[in-house]
A = this chain, B = another copy of it.
Amino acid sequence: MDARSPGSQAALREANRARLLAALRAGTARSQADLARATGLAPATVSNIVRQLEREGTVTTEESAGRRQVRLLPRTGVAASIDYGHRHVTVAIADDSPRILAERRLRLERHIDAREGLQVARRLLDLALEDASVELDDLVSIGMGLPAPIDRRTGRVGSPAILPGWRGVAVVELATEALGRPVAVDNDANLGALAEYRWGHGRHQEIESLVFIKLSEGVGAGLVIDGALFSGRDGTAGEIGHTTIDEHGAMCRCGNRGCLETLVSARAIVEALRPVLGEDREITLAEVAALAEEGDAACTRVLQDAGAQIGRSIASLCNLLNVQIVVIGGEMAQAGDLLLDAIRPVVHRFGIPSAVERLELVTTDLGARAPLLGGIALAFDLVQPR
């Protein structure tokens, strides 16, 4: 709690609700009297909150031995998630386990604008809903991930948008209108961090700080600090891809030179391999990783070099934040140990010992789906906050 904000009535209600839910999260049914004792809240306060939670379907209550027993329900219903990449869009329908009921993916033209991108997502969503035998109106809500910072103040896509057609778009408004259900939007790396924190490497009780780094066409990070997603004043924290590595390096799409992204993005990797693979060969990061696995020297080298650059940025990040876990996600994570073995020594070389010696450095548990699953978490959080 901010020591200087005495708290509005709304903030207090929110805090009371959160602590009651925390007391319930232990799992067993508890009586209202127990909850009052455990939280220090007045019985009338407990009773009010429980009534509200029951109306929402968050808890169930039952009279037993003259006492009202309260039990937390799993979050009910299904949500949809829409994850935009640079050249694809993926839609999933899932419950809060998270169990995926349907998933659809489509290639996107690089330069379609937000309106067109949302039309594609709407069609894909309809197909996925059909696959899952779920009606649009039955979705609790829709979570959406974009490979761009979302300015929380304006609700708009901040520059530098990787998707040029989305820059400056009031995305929540537009998406809600296009999709016909409430939509919550966040940066895809933030959603990856949220999914890893809930369901992946961060799900253990003792984990309070976690960074998820998405390495794909773009490079971005999502930060969990003190048990909550931290997105900064304007919602744009985590832009690790635009750390300057080489002041005189190649131009970056953000307008600077020598950003980390110019050295380790999918495009940079593929370009570095051109002299070996030939001008015409189209190759994805996943294919580069597979070739390296098979022993291809050039693919191995290029991923190791990328790992070393990423390692430097992770070292700086750890020096600054001293986090517990760094999770590598995105397409490049498919290189697995090859990548981690390149990153790890550099982190220890460039990080100060006390900041990195206990760092857990891992690849994502959730495969390429981390941001997509984060969208499911976001969708449930929007309507059934816990």
Report which A residues bind B (CB closer than 8 A).
1-7, 12-13, 15-16, 18-19, 22-23, 25-26, 36, 38-43, 45, 149, 151, 158-160, 205, 208-209, 221, 223, 225-228, 230-240, 242-244, 247, 254, 256, 312, 315-317, 319-324, 349-355, 358, 386
Cβ B322 vs Cβ A352 within 8 A: no
Copies of this chain, count = 2
Q: A40-B16, A244-B312, A316-B244 are in contact. Are A354 and B159 (CB under 8 A)?
A: yes
A22 to B8, CA, bound (A): 11
Cβ A352 vs Cβ B242 within 8 A: yes
Q: A23-B6, A243-B316 are in contact. Are A354 and B234 (CB under 8 A)?
A: yes
Chain B nearest CB: distance from A71 CB in Å?
A: 14
Chain B nearest CB: distance from A264 CB in Å?
A: 15
A254 to B357, CA, bound (A): 14
Cβ B322 vs Cβ A237 within 8 A: yes
Cβ B322 vs Cβ A235 within 8 A: yes
Residue of B nearest to A227 (CB): B2
Residue of B nearest to A312 (CB): B244
Cβ A3 vs Cβ B227 within 8 A: yes
Find A42's partner among B5, B40, B232, B242 (CB 8 Å cutoff). B40
Chain B nearest CB: distance from A218 CB in Å?
A: 12
Which of A18, A45, A208, A319 is most buried by chain B, counting CB atoms within 10 A of its CB? Answer: A319
Q: Which residues of B contact A4 (CB under 8 A)?
A: 25, 205, 227
Chain B nearest CB: distance from A382 CB in Å?
A: 15
Find A226's partner among B2, B242, B322, B354 (CB 8 Å cutoff). B2
Could you list 14 A-B pairs, sorted by A, with CB under 8 Å?
A: A1-B15, A1-B22, A5-B205, A13-B40, A42-B43, A149-B355, A225-B230, A231-B322, A232-B322, A233-B358, A236-B322, A240-B319, A242-B351, A242-B352
Cβ A40 vs Cβ B38 within 8 A: no
Q: Which residues of B contact A323 (CB under 8 A)?
A: 232-233
A155 to B54, CA, bound (A): 46
Shortest Cβ-Cβ A-B pairs, 9 listed: A232-B322, A158-B354, A2-B227, A239-B319, A237-B322, A42-B42, A40-B45, A236-B354, A16-B40
Using A5-B227, A236-B355 as known contacts, list a sample of 9 further A-B pairs with CB atoms less than 8 Å apart, ordered by residue number in A.
A12-B38, A12-B40, A42-B42, A158-B354, A225-B225, A232-B355, A237-B355, A254-B352, A256-B349
Q: Which residues of B contact A316 (CB under 8 A)?
A: 243-244, 316
Find A237's partner among B160, B228, B321, B386 (CB 8 Å cutoff). B321
Q: Which residues of B contact A236 (CB under 8 A)?
A: 322, 352, 354-355
Chain B nearest CB: distance from A159 CB in Å?
A: 5
Residue of B nearest to A149 (CB): B354
A317 to B317, CA, bound (A): 9
Residue of B nearest to A150 (CB): B354
Residue of B nearest to A238 (CB): B320
Q: Which residues of B contact A25 (CB under 8 A)?
A: 3-4, 6
Cβ B149 vs Cβ A352 within 8 A: yes
A290 to B227, CA, bound (A): 46
Q: Which residues of B contact A254 (CB under 8 A)?
A: 352
Find A209's partner among B233, B317, B321, B355 (CB 8 Å cutoff). B233
Cβ A209 vs Cβ B232 within 8 A: yes
Residue of B nearest to A359 (CB): B233
